[in-house]
Amino acid sequence: MAYENILVEKLEGRVGLIRLNRPRALNALSSALVRELMDALRALNADDEVGCIVITGSERVFAAGADIKEMSTATPVEMLAVDLLDWDALRKAKKPVIAAVSGWALGGGCELAMACDMIVASETATFGQPEINLGIIPGAGGTQRLIRAVGKALAMEMILNARNLSAEEAYQFGLVNRVVPAESYLDEALTLAREIAARAPVAVRLAKEAVNKAYEMTLAEGLAYEQRAFFLLFSTEDQREGMQAFMEKRKPEWKGR
């Protein structure tokens, strides 16, 4: 698939990079862009040479939300027909996905960042769910993910009254992992991605799954799930290698099996 709205690169250190690239529309998430993003995600997820995926925009904007011009005349059935903004694919991705956010992350853009496993923000990043200004509500996870990240009080204010969060506020409330200068947000995200991509792949995959299960299960179910995943790792060569390397005081060499 040739891409017109995103740029995709495979970088050294087993990192796949997807850049949203519709600058004139502030990276508004048109159905064409979302289709390309999902296709690139599927391809990088299936690529054994990639251990971690980074999604970014430009320094000015991560994404200003779904494409309002495209959506403005849509019927419910048309909205249903397009697989628009189904960010669950990010949660289900085998590889960790990091959002590198600078500038606006609004509406579906904020939801996209929140559906990633981690967020590295530039100090210029602004997060918000301004859908209420358009007479709608968040539809791609905003009402559910925001409350889990920042709590009910602030989530209500953001969703009911279009209150934006600065990068520093987003950090204080636990929405993002770190805030760094605008010049270095992408490098920071790529460094983090390379570090994770260099770790034992099966353990990374099961760790992501187990942490995400905490959203969905009772504590008892989650603890049981974690134990199964933990025991399963004792069938991997990497568990043997990791523990052997520790005892031999050397760096482990991961095989991904």
Q: Enumerate the active-site residues.
A: 66, 108, 111, 131
Max CA distance (Å), the chain:
65
Q: How far is the CB of 57 from ligand DAK (least distance, A)?
A: 11
Q: Cβ closer to ligand DAK: 28 or 99?
A: 28
**Any idea what the Cα angle at residue 138 is, between residues 30 and 126, rounded to 5°?**
80
DSSP codes joined into one string, 34-98: HHHHHHHHHHHHH-TT-SEEEEE--SSEEE--B-HHHHTT--HHHHHHS-TT-THHHHH-SS-EE
Cβ at position 187, least distance to ligand DAK in Å = 25
Residue nearest to ligand DAK (CB): 107
Q: Does 68 bind ligand DAK (CB under 6 A)?
A: yes
Q: Which is nearer to ligand DAK, 16 or 138 (CB)?
A: 138
Cβ atoms within 10 A of the Cβ of 224, count?
13
Sheet containing 165-166: order of strands: 61-63, 104-106, 126-128, 165-166
Backbone dihedral region of 17: left (phi > 0), alpha (psi from -120 to 50 degrees) or beta?
beta
Residues in a beta bridge with 179: 121
- Pick out residues in 140-179 that bind ligand DAK (CB under 6 A): 140
Among 6, 8, 15, 26, interactor with ligand DAK by CB under 6 A: 26
* Contact between 46 and 85 (Cβ < 8 Å): no
- CA 254 – CA 257 distance, rounded (Å): 8
Q: Which stretch binds ligand DAK (CB under 6 A): 31-39, 88-96, 104-112, 236-244?
A: 104-112
In the three-class reduction of DSSP (H, G, I as helix; E, B as strand; rest coil), residue 10 is classed as strand
- The window from 61-69, 146-154, 168-176, 192-200 that contacts ligand DAK (CB under 6 A) reads 61-69
Contact pick of 3, 11, 59, 139 for ligand DAK (by CB under 6 A): 139
Interface mask (CB under 6 A) for ligand DAK, residues 193-232, using x and -? ----------------------------------------
* Pairwise CA distance, residues 139 & 131, whole Å: 9
Binding status of residue 16 toward ligand DAK by CB under 6 A: no
Distance CA 79, CA 31 (A): 10
Q: Would you count residue 38 as binding ligand DAK (CB under 6 A)?
A: no
* 107 near ligand DAK, rule: CB under 6 A: yes
Shortest Cβ 162–ligand DAK spacing (Å): 8
Within residues 81-100, the interface with ligand DAK by CB under 6 A covers 84-85
Choose the stretch contacting ligand DAK; rule: CB under 6 A; options: 20-28, 40-48, 150-158, 217-225: 20-28
Q: Interface residues with ligand DAK (CB under 6 A)?
A: 25-26, 28, 64-69, 79, 84-85, 104, 106-108, 130-131, 133-134, 139-140
